[in-house]
Amino acid sequence: MTTAPQPPAAPRLVLGIDLGTTNSLAAVRAGKGARVLRDRDGEPLVPSVVCFHPDGRTIVGRDAKALRLDFPERTVFSIKRLIGRSAAEVQQEATRLPYRVVAADRGLPRVQIGDQQWTPEAISALILQQVKATAEQALGQPVREAVVTVPAWFDDAQRQATKDAAQLAGLECLRILNEPTAAALAYGIDGSKDGTALVYDLGGGTFDVSILRIDDGVFRVLSTAGDTHLGGDDFDELLGQRILAQLPPTSDPYVLQAVRAAAEGLKIRLSDADRAELELDLGDRGAVKLAVTRAEFEAAIAPLVQRTLDCVTRAVKDAGLQLHELDDVVLVGGSTRVPLVRARLQALTGKVPHTGVDPDLAVALGAAIQADVLAGNDRSLLLLDVIPLSLGLETLGGAVQKLILRNSTIPTSVTEEFSTGVDNQTAVDLTIYQGERELAQDCRLLGRFQLRGLPALPAGLPRIAVTFLVDADGVLRVTAREQRTGAQASIQIVPTFGLTRDEVRKMMLDSIEHAQHDYLAREAIDTRNKAEAMVRGTQKALQMAELPPDQTYAVQKATKALQKLLAANADAAALKAGCDELTKLTATIADDVISSAVTKALKADEIR
């Protein structure tokens, strides 16, 4: 029997999707690079806008954007600002949006359209569905898998919500990829540009800066910084205020939307011209005639541009570099077309920014390249990212033991051993924090779970291995396992209250400002824990050891003195002196029962 030669299996098709605040689009790998997928009119960008038409239709993309003025309260944009966040967090944001955002179950935000409520995930899914449909039409075949990009500083909840949105849209999300990393991939695809690159991504609603090392086709993110509330929308807002100043005071959604659209048009014209004019006729709601020079516009936005530069400086410092050591500066995001942005960035870095890749398409193109790697079609690239803030576990006394440090490369996994703080404890609470400060009260609570079924043993003896695993998507899984019994519990962290980038920055600045105070507070807790463990260990050892009465008496006396100091909440210096005294006595005892018991008691940090 002969077999006919099989045709080579078709390569697996995975989309790269840039789910943007303003626009979304998809791309696929093509040859050595990637290509964006366009609709029938040749347009690659799907505006991230959904209109819930009063006639019952749900309209997405360009047609929805066109309806913004007709149905401002039923046309949803900037949904990315709400996804994965709590209603409380987005409250301020919501006051700027013409559609209604309400708090629903578990304090999560919903968009209220008539008598219906929509989750940010469901609205994002509608956008993704449109992107998927456009891609399928361009490719002439169905697609089920994708890599979806998010700002580098999206927290676990925001990443998870984005994944959920993809699933709702009928797409399996193989990887959540940081936008600047994707952009750099698009830029450095041939791998011949070894060196250090700064990716400056200023879009409609977010700003990200990343410092990347590119070596032989390997991309490594050295650091990231930015602001989730800074972008071209803010430039529009400033111009919008000038327009509104010429109108009678109003909160009319129709007027606000019209002004916003006019402001954006004015801004875009000012990227090419030194002066732009606006005539806006709002019928009986008023009319505006305005001329703005580029110099005026630049003066207005200069403080915002400076904020981005401050982030750049910080990211460079975090990467352990100096500005002059950067080899390349890469621009991403529509707002990098603003000439002032380019000029200021060039002045700061001393490098002419690269503009070879279209700033609107770079992220999707890079995502397509990564998608192809995950599809198994390209094994030449490796992608590494970092986590923005340290992750740790609360230990006895309210200190935080950091397991994964800020800017660690992900995926990463760290295991440390902990123990109990009380005799016969059969369950321990594991409380997970994020932040740079030493005490739990100053960090961000991420989640909490319990490990039960511990053997009833004296404090300090159970051995609990705690593993922090951050996967490639930046999602944290914490697992605790008691070594003797094998009892195990774990949690996947999806924090209810995600951090905004401003909060991250504040937490970092706080940690510097409070470093000395924190150090002393931490020392006080550690000393207290050590003293308590010493008291316990010594008491136990005394029961076991057969010591001459005078030595027993001396050790007992020193132990009692230390106990008294503990009961009186003595300061760290006094406790230290008490511990030293006890150590001196136990160290001179020939029989090493006491010191070994004490050492055992001191070995592992104790979980509450």
- The footprint of ligand AMP (CB under 6 A) covers 20-23, 203-204, 231-233, 264, 267-268, 271, 333-335, 337-338, 360
- Sheet of 488-492, strands arranged across: 488-492, 476-482, 464-470, 412-419, 605-606
Q: How far is the CB of 203 from ligand AMP (least distance, A)?
A: 3
Beta carbon nearer to ligand AMP, 188 or 232: 232
Side chain identity at 251, as an amino acid letter? S
Beta carbon nearer to ligand AMP, 273 or 515: 273
Write the DSSP string, 105-168: GGG-EEEEETTEEE-HHHHHHHHHHHHHHHHHHHHTS---EEEEEE-TT--HHHHHHHHHHHHH
Residues 300 and 580: their CA atoms lie apart, in Å, by 63
Q: How far is the CB of 339 from ligand AMP (least distance, A)?
A: 9
The reply to whether 80 belongs to the active site is yes
Question: In degrees rounded to 5, what are phi and psi of residue 360?
Answer: -80, -20
The reply to whether 502 belongs to the active site is no
Beta carbon nearer to ligand AMP, 231 or 462: 231
Beta carbon nearer to ligand AMP, 35 or 269: 269
Q: How far is the CB of 48 from ligand AMP (least distance, A)?
A: 9
Beta carbon nearer to ligand AMP, 201 or 442: 201
Catalytic-role residue among 80, 132, 402, 540: 80
The reply to whether 510 belongs to the active site is no
DSSP state of 81: G
Identify the CA nearest to 222 among candidates 349, 316, 326, 339.
316
Catalytic-role residue among 179, 236, 442, 482: 179
Write the DSSP string, 160-212: HHHHHHHHHTT-EEEEEEEHHHHHHHHHSTTS---EEEEEEEE-SS-EEEEEE
Q: How far is the CB of 152 from ligand AMP (least distance, A)?
A: 14
Catalytic-role residue among 18, 328, 394, 526: 18
Beta carbon nearer to ligand AMP, 336 or 538: 336
Q: How far is the CB of 213 from ligand AMP (least distance, A)?
A: 24
Reading the block at residue 457, the tokens are 């043993």
Q: How far is the CB of 79 from ligand AMP (least distance, A)?
A: 13
* CA atoms within 13 A of residue 172's CA, in its CB half-sphere: 9
31-65 burial, b at 16+ Cβ within 10 Å, e below that, comes to eeebbbbbbeeeebbbbbbbbbeeeeeebbbbebb
Q: How far is the CB of 206 from ligand AMP (least distance, A)?
A: 8
Beta carbon nearer to ligand AMP, 180 or 232: 232
Alpha-carbon torsion 317, 322, 324, 328, what sign?
Answer: negative
Q: Are strands 328-332 and 287-293 parallel, antiparallel or unpaired?
A: unpaired
Residues 563 and 565: their CA atoms lie apart, in Å, by 5
Distances (CA, A) of 217 to 138, 192, 381, 523: 30, 7, 6, 45
399-429 burial, b at 16+ Cβ within 10 Å, e below that, comes to bbbbbbebbbebebeeebebbbbeeebeebe
Catalytic-role residue among 39, 156, 201, 436: 201
Beta carbon nearer to ligand AMP, 82 or 558: 82
The reply to whether 18 belongs to the active site is yes
Q: How far is the CB of 405 from ligand AMP (least distance, A)?
A: 31
Active site residue ranges: 18, 80, 179, 201
